[in-house]
Amino acid sequence: MMRRKLVAGNWKMHGLKADLGEVRAIAAAVPAEVDAALCVPFTLIAGAADAAGALPIGAQDVHQSDKGAHTGCISAAMLVEAGALLTIVGHSERRADQHETDAQVKAKAEAAQKAGLRVILCIGETLEERDAGLAEQVVTGQVAASLPDGASADWLALAYEPVWAIGTGRTPTEADVAAMHGAIRAKLRELIGDEAERVQILYGGSVNGSNAVALLGCEDVDGALVGGASLTAEKFVPIIEAAASLSR
Ligand code: PGA
């Protein structure tokens, strides 16, 4: 099954209006063979959506409730109104810093879908879990517990991001990446049958212009979720180009 590659940037808590020029430059450089997206801070969504043309702009989190007394939180309808077409849910930094559980991540994904957003749902093991030989068990457990009801490739992608590879410059071996992505797909098959073949499974964690071809060329890797190297066109476009070169 030939799945299109998706390269998504995660700007995390970076980006002011002065950086919208990077959004424009990135948007102008996406070849037809690949899908790309940029998940920016809430405050930049509207401006980035205006600047981005055909490049989808997304958020990095969404609240699971439609509305209510949740100070500081953002609903899916608010994201849509601001111009977002997608959102990340369950990033390991939120699972760690905001103590988000699999059940909350699942509810967030379902709320996003209900409002018409696409979803990138993140999973990944810590170094302690990998060293203890538990990586596959932890990650497939996260898939089972956080996969939204009605999960479909029409609106859902997964991102495997080993916590120890995020922002560290360290990456798993290609064999480890392929093995984990295979295990994730097998778990998806158990849960949603043939639809599993259509779901994009992205790799994330220290992806850059130099390692992108190797990582995105691994079996069952359908794209990348990129943090630090997505902040400028100079760093991000080579990753998008790498994905495109594998799709030609
Ligand atoms: P990184 O972050 O590319 O800076 O390692 C990836 C992510 O956290 O999505």
Q: List, as one string, the DSSP characters of 54-88.
A: TS-EEES---SSSSSS-TT---HHHHHHHT--EEE
**Pocket-testing residue among 10, 93, 122, ligand 1, by greatest number of atoms within 8 A of Cβ:** 10
> Is residue 1 assigned to a domain?
no
User: Would you call 14 a catalytic residue per the annotation?
Assistant: no
> Is residue 62 assigned to a domain?
yes
Instruction: Give the per-residue pLDDT at 69.
Output: 98
User: Would you call 99 a catalytic residue per the annotation?
Assistant: no
Catalytic one among 91, 100, 125, 136? Answer: 91
State the total domains in the chain.
Answer: 1
Q: Is the CB of 92 under 6 A from ligand 1?
A: no
> Is residue 44 assigned to a domain?
yes
Cross-strand pairs, 35: 6
Ligand 1: which atom is nearest the Cα of residue 165? 5
Ligand 1: centre distance to CA 106 (Å):
21
pTM (2 decimals)?
A: 0.98
Q: The domain spanning residue 19 has which CATH number? A: 3.20.20.70
> Is residue 217 assigned to a domain?
yes
> Token pair for residue 208?
């850059």
**Pocket-testing residue among 123, 207, 211, 235, ligand 1, by greatest number of atoms within 8 A of Cβ:** 207
| Tens of each residue's pLDDT in the chain, 248 residues | 689 999 999 999 999 999 999 999 999 999 999 999 999 999 999 999 999 999 999 999 999 999 999 999 999 999 999 999 999 999 999 999 999 999 999 999 999 999 999 999 999 999 999 999 999 999 999 999 999 999 999 999 999 999 999 999 999 999 999 999 999 999 999 999 999 999 999 999 999 999 999 999 999 999 999 999 999 999 999 999 999 999 98
Helix (H) or strand (E) holding 91: none
**Quick one: 161 exposed, middle or buried, by C-beta within 10 A (0-12, 13-18, 19+)?**
buried
Backbone angles phi, psi at 142, to 5 degrees: -65, -40
Backbone angles phi, psi at 59, to 5 degrees: -105, 175
pLDDT digits (tens, 9 = 90+) for 3-38: 999 999 999 999 999 999 999 999 999 999 999 999
Cβ atoms of 156 and 148 closer than 8 Å = yes
State the Cα–Cα distance between residues 24 and 76, nearest whole angstrom.
Answer: 25
Catalytic one among 22, 129, 161, 241? Answer: 161
**Pocket-testing residue among 89, 226, 230, 235, ligand 1, by greatest number of atoms within 8 A of Cβ:** 226
Ligand 1: centre distance to CA 178 (Å):
18
| First vs last C-alpha separation in the chain | 15
Instruction: Give the per-residue pLDDT at 2.
Output: 84
Instruction: Give the per-residue pLDDT at 47.
Output: 98
73: containing domain = 6-245
Cβ atoms of 212 and 170 closer than 8 Å = no
> Is residue 26 assigned to a domain?
yes
Q: Is the CB of 205 under 6 A from ligand 1?
A: yes
